[in-house]
Amino acid sequence: MRTNVVIVGAGPSGLLLGQLLFKAGVDAIVVERQTPDYVLSRIRAGVLEQVTLDVLAQAGVDKRLPRDGLPHTGFDLLFKGERHRIDLKGLTGGKKVMVYGQTEVTRDLMEAREAAGLTTHYEAQSVQIHDFDSDHPSVTFIKDGVTQTIQCDFIAGCDGFHGVCRASVPRQSIQEFEKVYPFGWLGVLADTPPVHEELIYVNSPRGFALCSQRSRTRSRYYLQVPLTDHLDQWPDEAFWDELRNRLDPEARDHLVTGPSIEKSIAPLRSFVAEPMRFGTLFLAGDAAHIVPPTGAKGLNLAATDVKFLSDALIEACIEKSHAGIDHYSKRCLARIWRAERFSWWFTSLMHRFPDQGEIGQKLQEAELDYLVHSEAGSRTVAENYVGLPLNFGE
């Protein structure tokens, strides 16, 4: 087989890249080790910045968004038992975010790829990348017991934090920065109406909580828990009881509980790999960086990586210019580190840290009090939350 670009990974990053390349007339094959059902079963966040919405529109996969997406013009910060609204629209000159689950984004991309008859190899085992330090890279994998080889011009590593692409880079050629947080998020998905029409971020002496949603009838809730906790310690009743203990009286009164349809504990980390280009191999999305989910930046960062990478690959394949791919890593990393900073800061502000004691809680509350009563402070939160422009700082 021969193609312009092999995309390793059929999550939202890989599928979005494939769709943008297809729209521009660049041939790409997607290789994924899991089944389509498994890919769609991964429950992730769903707060989309305007930049991401623009990229989805460019890819032609935004048809369901006006009907099923939930526009949010603000969110609540809850601390010391009281809620304070951050007016995103008013503080940012009219900007907002859209709540639309990552699973739905992935489904839209899968359906678009299938409708266009584009090649995707699911259940590809023993995926390996070769000769990406040359002009003749290739990707091999085993499907149905047969080894297959794809010759290509470029490889896009969209295969996540544990994928083969970053792991294939020689250790001396890459630098990794990582912070692992001493807690996780226990998440529950339930077919119950959300407790509030917008998100509620909770700073509580008992730990962080988040009241989120996927639709007007499906809710997503999170609790900060120790990394040592296991799911069997958290039957549904225990989860709902603890969530109530972290909410304000109004939210407790409006909380509708029900059986969980998905429950998981996710660790939190900040991670960046530099650079993001190695010859003809390019990393994008979780393969290159991870943010704690507090700032809702993971999918949005992946979308901007893909925007930069698609532009660069289209330029290289059609115009035969390497200007875009030569600047890809630097351009992405400038944006990534800004999002990493915001996610780290917001995580540090909202969570209970074991080593900070009671003074840590008081200092967090004092900073939150400043933020909600200072227009400058609130605007800083709002500008970062809705997402900085693509050309910010250039």
**Which are the catalytic amino acids?**
72, 201, 293, 297, 385
- Tell me how many degrees the CA angle 340-343-344 measures, rounded to the nearest 5: 80
Q: CB–CB of 174/281 below 8 Å?
A: no
Residue 270's closest CA among 217, 347, 213?
A: 347
Counting other chains too, the contacts that 310-313 makes at CB distance below 8 Å and 24 or more residues apart are 310/17, 310/20, 310/21, 310/24, 312/282, 313/4, 313/5, 313/21, 313/26, 313/154, 313/156, 313/282
CA 177 to chain centre: 18
Residue 156's closest CA among 264, 292, 15, 274?
A: 15
- Scan for tokens 């017991």, then name that residue: 145
Which alpha helices (DSSP H) does 226-297 contain, by range?
236-246, 249-254
Q: CB–CB of 306/13 below 8 Å?
A: yes
CA distance linking residue 296 with residue 355, whole number of Å: 25
Strand order in the sheet with 200-203: 82-87, 74-79, 200-203, 209-213, 219-225, 175-190, 260-274, 289-290
- Scan for tokens 């989910």, then name that residue: 293
Radius of gyration of the chain measured on its C-alpha atoms: 21
